Every structure is written in structure tokens, then in C-alpha cells.
Amino acid sequence: MTNDPGAHPNLADPLQLPCGLMLPNRLGRAAMTEGLADRDNDPSPALDRLLATTAAGGAGLLLTGNAMVDRRHLERARNVVVDAATDGAALARWAASCAETPTLVQLSHPGRQTNRFVQSTPVTPSGGPAVALAGMFARPRALTSDEVGDVRDAFVFAAQRVVDAGFAGVQVHAAHGYLLSTFLDPRHNHRDDSYGGSLAGRARLLLEIVERLRAVLPSSAAVAVKLDARDGATDEVARVARWFADAGGDLVEISGGSYEAPAMLGLTAAGTPLATSQESPFWAAAAEVSAAVAGAVPVMLTGGFRTRAGIERALRSGVASLVGLGRPLAVDPGLAARLLAGEAEELPRPAPRVGGPAPLQRLLGAAANSGWHRLQLQRHGAGQPPRLELSAYVAAADYIAVDVAQGLLGRRRRMRRAAALPGVPAARD
């Protein structure tokens, strides 16, 4: 495996994962919410076009936007869902759209971060307060022990389906405040059974998923994980990464933040710009994780990069084995090729920010940023160029209103399809 931190890799150097998957360079397309599934939450032709366009852009690794493992619980109303009801032909078509580039499907369960119009009874490890954003989220309930097992099985089932469809592997999303992230976080996990308490207990669900994936997937299929760089807990993140490597994982991605504190968008909980001494606010966490895994698996650092020099510094310092780009590639899918050729030094700037008092920034800042980039992704999926003059306020309104409307209109149909899946425990009501 080409992953020696002392080798000082260049951006264009290939990287081989432990499973044998060869990445042609050190740039990854990080996952972003696309919201481009069809009304049955299957991959749509627009999503195929988006992934094909991105695959042609030169990145050595693609990560799809988060695909849900339980159609009752979505991060957005038009997420792709992968379960027994998913159209196999649509999955195969989606995989074929990016067949020339190593591509992993990011699998996720939103946990408490699903708005009340999509799911009025979200779930978490231990219950607790609702996501504090303008009353858009309902108070979650705690998962039972049986339901924890159902979640594990749903991740494994979904992974088998996407690998069978032709994807190179999967990434298990355990970051950004979604369900697996809250299991790892003692602020959200107060369980008194074997899935709570010590870090080993809080990490048990994630590691069980990884171990089962390694047991049922082909040895050539990549199993990756995305972990949070939680403030004051980088030692825990590093230990989980080491356990992941020991369980047969292939790639650790480090990012951070949640709906309430969107550090992955460069924002604080108040909606103001996040201060950092490096381009990426997760630099220190990635460095600690890289030291902990000691070359056993590559580490991908995602978030905040704005220059080619910053990317190369992360690689040559050994902080990361590859760098993930999300928002810059949402604006310009062909950017990776120009970075690799030395034809671009600056990355596209992020979305325009909303102004006004702190409460307004907190309520609209994350929606504006996510919504602005989602609309750029939507345009690429329609074969159109980006619209850089798009207003942040228009993007925020679209991001909220479209999801509410699609959530309300599609909810009954989605729940009926879930209820018709007795063979998939996580999809039962």
C-alpha cells in the first residue's frame, strides 16, 4: 500500500487502499447532499449525469452524497435510499455512470437530523432534545436494543446491494451529527447497555457494521468510514480510527460539524466564520489520526481547503494521504484535473453568506451555504453551468421550502413502501 507518511506524496501520486483498490491521485470528491433522487428515492437520471460529470473531472476517488439505509429516516426528502425496495436497474445505472473512477457510496442514517416534515419521530441512542433550528426538528426517541441491531443490519444490506450493483465499495457515515456520530459522542449517547458508556461501547455499533461488511463483501471492495473531529476529543477519534483499521477498514475520512454547529461549512454554531490557523479546521485531528493508524489505512482530510498549496502541504506533511474537496467541486466539477495539471492555484470561494444579526445568521447560514451548493449540483445534473450570482437568501429559502414540500408530499408513499418490506427489519414501522 502506498501510504507511507514519510514518502511526502505529490498530488498526482497514486494511492493503493488495503483492499487493493488503486486511486490514480490524491484528490477525493467528498460527499455532499444532492437531493436528486426520484419520487421513490431511487437514483435519477439527473444524479447519473451529476456523477458522470464529476467522474470526468479528474478526482482519484468519488464519494456519493449520503444514501440512506432506512427510507423512514431521511436527511432530505429526496435522498437516495438503498434497501430491498430500491430499483436494481437504477442502482446499476448509477454505478455505470462513474465506472471509470473509483467510487464509494456513502451510507448513512440521519438519526435526530431529519426534519419533522420528513420524519416526526426521529431516533437517537438515548433520546434527548430536538435539533435546535427554528422548530424544524422533532424531539427524538431512544432506539431499543433490537432496533440498534436493525440499524446495523440495514447498513450491511445496503452495502451488499451497492457493491453488487458495481460500485467499488462504501463509506459508513459516522460524522456530522448523524446517527452513528451520536453513538460515538458521549453528549448524545447515555445508554447503559453494551452500546453506551465507555468509548468501546459507544463505538461498538460502528465496529460491528465494519466487521460484518468485511465478512460479507468481496475482499476487493473498499470499506471506508467518515469520522468527526470533535472538539476536545481527538484522542477518542484517533482510537476509533485505530480500531477501524484493525477491523479491516480501508480509508478514514476526517471532517467535522453538525446541523447545529456546521464546522464542515466553515461556520460556528452562531453562523459566523470559523477561525482556524490552517486552511482546514480539522488539520490537527487528521494529524493525530494519521499518527494513530501509523500507515495501516490512509487518512483523507476534508474541509476548508482553498489553495493548491494548502492541499500539497497537507500531503507532504503527512497529515493526510489524500484530500477531500466538496464545495469547490460542486461549483466546478473539472477543478481536480486543473489542480493536478498545475493550472489552478486558488479554489472557488464558498457560497455568499447571509448578513444581519447573529440569530438570523444561525438560522439561515447553514441553509444558505448548503442550499447554494445543492443548487449548483442540481444544475450540473441538468447539464447546465453553475450560477455563481445566485443569492444566498434565495438558496436558503429553496433549501428549506423544497425539502418541506417534498417531505410532506412524499411521506405517505415512502412510509407505505417501508411497511411493505418485512424482510428488512430496519424498514418496519
**DSSP secondary structure string, 304-357?**
---BHHHHHHHHHTTS-SEEEESHHHHH-TTHHHHHHTT---BPPP-PPPP-SS
**Which pLDDT score is estimated for 134?**
73
In the chain, what are the domains?
5-427 (3.20.20.70)
86, 199, 216 from 265: Cα distances, Å: 31, 27, 35
What is this structure's pTM?
0.91
14, 50, 220, 310, 413 from 60: Cα distances, Å: 8, 16, 17, 18, 38
Distance CA 113, CA 105 (A): 20
The whole-number mean pLDDT for each consecutive block of 10 residues of the chain, a chain of 429 residues, reads 56 97 97 93 97 96 96 94 97 97 97 92 93 85 96 97 98 95 95 97 98 98 94 88 97 84 50 59 93 95 93 95 94 94 86 58 68 89 91 82 86 90 50
**Which pLDDT score is estimated for 395?**
83
**Which pLDDT score is estimated for 425?**
44
**Which pLDDT score is estimated for 424?**
46
**Which pLDDT score is estimated for 1?**
37
**Which pLDDT score is estimated for 355?**
60
Q: Which DSSP state fits 186?
A: T
**Which pLDDT score is estimated for 403?**
82
312 alpha carbon, distance to own chain's centre:
23
206, 208, 322 from 240: Cα distances, Å: 9, 12, 19
Q: Where are the beta strands (DSSP E) in 27-147?
A: 27-29, 61-63, 67-68, 103-108, 123-124, 141-142
Q: What are phi and psi of 115, to 5 degrees?
A: -70, 160
